[in-house]
Chains A and B, each alone.
Chain A
Amino acid sequence: MSEVTRKPTTGPAAASPGEVPTIWTTGWTDVFNTGTWRAATPIHEWRPSPCHADCPIGNTIPGWIADIREGAYQEAWLSLVETNPFPSVTGRVCHHPCEGHCNREVIEAVVGINGLEHFLGDRALEEGWALPAPAESQGKRVAVVGGGPAGLSCAYHLRRLGYEVTIYEAREELGGLLRYGIPEYRLAAGVVDAEIARLLDMGIEVRLNAGLADRAALESLEAEYDAVFLAVGAQQAKILRHLEGGAGAGRVLDGLEYLRRCTEGVARDLGERMTVIGGGSAAMDVARSARRLGHQVSVVALESRGAMPAQPEEIEQALEEGVALFDGAMVAAVEAGADGGLTLKCVKVTLDLGAPAGELRPVPVEGGEFALAADVIVTAIGQDPDLAPFNGAFGDGSSDGSSVDGATGGFVECAVLVADPVTLATTRAGVFAGGDVASTNRFVSEAIGAGRRAAYSIAEYLSHPDACIPERPKLEDSVNRTEVNSFYFEFSERRERVVAPAAERLQAFAETISVYSTEDANAEAGRCMSCGFCVQCDNCFVFCPDMAVQKDPSAAGAEGVAPGASECASEGAPPAGAAVRVVAAVPCVGAPADSGPFYFVLDQYCKGCGLCVTECPRGAVRLEQVNL
């Protein structure tokens, strides 16, 4: 046998010891770049929930509800008072627009956000929790004129930002309409007192019986302070002239006046039969207060019941309490009645749909005449601000709105002070205005929100190093119903607060609505889906077929700043505790140091299928098209 010299080959047979046959695996697929297949990129991003977008104060609702869910009530409350210093007040009287577009409706019913706010507010008062201490002094002073919710909220946020604040209030007590308008049975004075006292404990100076009288007074405030916030409300009742003369003389009262008397306990014999004119909350408050004081009450409203501006439950409760409602009607004239009282000539009306927005044009219905007997008429048809003190201060000297440039800010339009919608600045440098005086959107939460925005705007005006005006997220940018994944949520009935039966309600001015029990609050918090607010459920991580979603607890602190801690955080930025936007393995922007594992997407592998987006129960991952 002769020796055969074999040629080296490249096939498997050629493998020498230590070399790997080519049929063997030599490496892992993680060297490949399947990310190039992608047409869209998932982005983990904190996104506003619709409840947050709808809250006039800017409450980051899913954040503090998540704390309730974990039983961390004080933390929840602290997170809530970041924006709203009056949760016990708003928990009772806010018209809760936050519940209007709550995504939970896709499962069974919207979350009882207002009830949870009530629960936290009352828990804080019970436990005596203090508001956070003010930041380091900015060495500047701000005057707040008007101690209603707008002024108090502004004072609170300014104080937190490190300003010295003095409130000038015309009346003998703070609170504005919270104290002198909204009746006791809906909002007990003790609650208002307690939340205001806690706020003043932060070190806010108050001058009572110190109304701003005239332009000179304003000018001296401007000289003395670095900025001024005007929040004098709108407490001048609109009147119906055609009722006041003749037979009506001395028998027509305005609603605010009546409610003020109720609050002050100054009863007066007005006669037994009362007719209230108006279809809003104030009219219901007058009617229901009068029922508690033993009057026979009828309400005449221009709008039909469904279109009345009062909250549906207020109307329902008024009816239960024995108020007679004549909706879609108006009082055309007043005559002396046979029994020494008045005869109100009424007529059924429809509303002219072609009327300009904000204006009601009643059209009498033929043959719709009817009459009501009454001893006293109370009108509750809205209020205007008292602008007399500012006469001439804002430009052209007019105070009646007749020669106004409403677009650029000037004096009055629809009889409100015109302030810039974003900065709340008036035409006078350093003078800001908000709440009822500058808006026809007359709600407590709107006033508190305006106060908050004004505080940050004033801080910006005074060159605060980190404050900027919070931007209100838009509803259309918030997580919508198609973006939550209903599979992950089980049916769970909404908890309701208990309302006392009508007979009991009529006995006194005691509050009629109960607060959630701890169990109810926990259950209700459990219903919130945390829209847009990552709760680290891991779904995005679990369902990626490419293992492109990663979590990295260790890197969380690396680049982390807690955005909620920065006063500059706009409402479009994640609140503290949110896990966050991270693209392509870059440590997340704004990850709070203690946020636990957070998620990022590996650019190299993500194929852009969108599974992580769809299986995120709450819309906290978004798919962004890749620009080719």
Chain B
Amino acid sequence: MHTYELDEQTVFNSGHNACPGCGEALAVRYVLNTMGPNTIGVVPPSCIAIICGPQPYSSMRIPVYQTTLEASAASAAGISRALKRQGKHDVNVLAMAGDGGTYDIGFQALSGAAERNEDMVYVCLDNEGYMNTGAQKSSSTPYLAVTSSTPGGKPSDKKDITEIMAAHRIPYVATATVGYPDDLARKVAKARDMEGMRFIVVLTPCLDGWGVADDGAVRVSRLAVDTGFFPLYEVEDGERYTINHGPKGIPVERYLEQQKRYRHLDADQIKEIQTGVDHRWSLLQARAESMARPVVCD
């Protein structure tokens, strides 16, 4: 029988403004309560900022700097450097941004910080769209998903932020999701205890934006992993791959059918998505394998 062992500290508060059953709030819980109170947070405009609290109230019992949508990584880098300048080497700096603020609008700051290997934990809470402003598409929105700005389904693929960040050869990149809370908490703890740029992308179902039932965040999140849509893995220093949870032989249709944003799909489209999922999974496996092999000259 399956049980979760989480080592939580009390940082995230009740009384926050997230929707009932929100997957992103659940992720914030695991991230903050694992990072612990000795943390400074950086949050750009996003649902996370709303969950953070209607100013002057906060749901996060740590100092949080609410920055601009473009600047999460830059702000976090500044705070991190300032702390070091003050001789405070033991304070964690945590940026928590949405996918819009990570894949798109905050991307150049993020890439720059990664290139400089700034000392921070950057968590992208990926709900696959600009949800806080009315569920517009972002470059994280998956192929064929309906958003308010792609009413016929998004014509292009989801950007692979994990591989992009891994290609920066930073110490730690990982994927995680709320349906696997122990895996998520373990990765946050691991990142917290490392140095340099650590990046975790957490898939967080948005009930309203995805058209999921109020009690469905965990179920859908788990199906994302179990169907192979969103494998859970880690990449260290850009090359050491560890796959934690992959597909369990469940067709991707089981995942899609839980969400109204995919309701319009016909059988061919579902097949196409399945093919894409299978393809990406085999690529990931191949990459993990080839990267694991030591490079041999001549």
Interface residues in chain A, defined as those with a beta carbon under 8 Å from any beta carbon in chain B = 20, 22-34, 37-38, 487-490, 526, 529, 535, 537-539, 542-543, 545-548, 602, 604-605, 607-611, 613-615, 617
Contacts and interface: CB of A to CB of B under 8 A. Distances in A.
Interface string B13-29: 11111111111011001
12 contacts: A28-B58, A29-B15, A29-B16, A29-B54, A33-B15, A34-B17, A489-B1, A545-B217, A547-B14, A605-B15, A611-B26, A617-B2
A545 B16 CA distance: 9
B215 A24 contact: no
Contacts of B214: 608-611
The 4 A-B residue pairs with the shortest CB-CB distance, nearest first, are A609-B21, A610-B215, A607-B20, A29-B15
B218 A615 contact: yes
Contact of A29 (B3, B14, B181): B14
B138 to A, nearest CB: 22
Contacts of B12: 547
Contacts of B23: 545
B246 to A, nearest CB: 16
Given A29-B53, A609-B20, A545 B59 contact: no
A617 B215 contact: no
A613 B58 contact: no
B57 A26 contact: yes
Contacts of A548: 14
A545 B204 CA distance: 12
A537 B55 CA distance: 36
Nearest to B207: A609
A546 B4 CA distance: 18
A25 B57 contact: yes
A488 B57 contact: no
- Chain A CB within 10 Å, residue with most, of B21, B29, B55: B21
A492 to B, nearest CB: 10
Given A26-B57, A608-B20, A31 B29 contact: no
B56 A30 contact: no
Given A487-B222, A547-B14, A608-B20, A614 B25 contact: no
B61 interface: yes
Contacts of A490: 2
A611 B21 contact: yes
A98 B10 CA distance: 44
A27 B16 contact: no
A25 B61 CA distance: 10
- Chain A CB within 10 Å, residue with most, of B16, B55, B64: B16
Given A27-B58, A28-B58, A614-B216, 9 more contacts: A25-B64, A30-B14, A32-B16, A546-B16, A547-B13, A548-B14, A607-B21, A609-B215, A611-B26
B154 interface: no
A531 B54 CA distance: 41
Nearest to A69: B1
Contact of B15 (A23, A30, A608, A614): A30
A545 B26 CA distance: 4
A542 B25 contact: no
Contacts of B216: 614
Contacts of A30: 13-15
A27 B58 CA distance: 6
B66 to A, nearest CB: 9
B1 A537 contact: yes
B81 interface: no
B219 interface: yes
B57 A22 contact: no
- Chain B CB within 10 Å, residue with most, of A526, A529, A615: A615
Contacts of B18: 545-546
Interface in B66-119: none
Interface in B33-74: 53-59, 61, 64
- Chain B CB within 10 Å, residue with most, of A487, A535, A537, A613: A487
A538 B3 contact: yes
Interface of B: 1-4, 6, 12-23, 25-26, 29, 53-59, 61, 64, 181, 214-219, 222
A543 B218 contact: yes
B16 A34 contact: yes
A538 B15 contact: no
Contacts of A546: 14, 16, 18, 25
Nearest to A609: B21
Contact of B56 (A25, A537, A613): A25
Nearest to A548: B14
B6 A542 contact: yes
Contacts of B55: 23, 25
Contacts of B15: 28-34, 604-605
B226 to A, nearest CB: 8
A476 to B, nearest CB: 22
B36 to A, nearest CB: 16
Contact of A539 (B4, B16, B58): B4
Nearest to A24: B56
Contacts of B56: 20, 22-27
Given A29-B15, A546-B14, A547-B13, A526 B1 contact: yes
B229 to A, nearest CB: 16
A488 B1 contact: yes
A564 B26 CA distance: 37
B62 to A, nearest CB: 10
B179 to A, nearest CB: 9
Contact of A34 (B3, B14, B29): B14
Contacts of A615: 218
B185 to A, nearest CB: 10
B29 A545 contact: yes
A29 B222 contact: no
A617 B1 CA distance: 9
A602 B15 CA distance: 11
Contacts of B19: 607
Contacts of A33: 15
Contacts of B13: 28-30, 547
Contacts of B217: 545, 611
Contacts of B53: 25, 28-29
Contacts of B14: 29-30, 34, 546-548, 602, 604-605
Contact of A543 (B1, B20, B58, B181): B181
A539 B215 CA distance: 13
- Chain A CB within 10 Å, residue with most, of B54, B55, B215: B215
- Chain B CB within 10 Å, residue with most, of A488, A526, A542: A542
Contacts of B59: 28-29
B59 to A, nearest CB: 4
A607 B14 CA distance: 11
A611 B57 contact: no
Nearest to B2: A488
Contacts of B54: 29
Given A34-B15, A611-B217, A29 B57 contact: yes
B3 A614 contact: no
A435 B233 CA distance: 62
Nearest to B33: A547
Contacts of B20: 37-38, 607-609
Contacts of A488: 1-2
- Chain B CB within 10 Å, residue with most, of A25, A33, A490, A615: A25
B18 to A, nearest CB: 6
Contacts of B29: 545, 547
A537 B182 CA distance: 14
Nearest to B215: A610
Nearest to A618: B1
A382 to B, nearest CB: 45
Nearest to A33: B15
A28 B57 contact: yes
A614 B218 contact: yes
Nearest to A527: B1
Given A31-B15, A605-B14, A545 B58 contact: no
Contacts of A23: 55-56
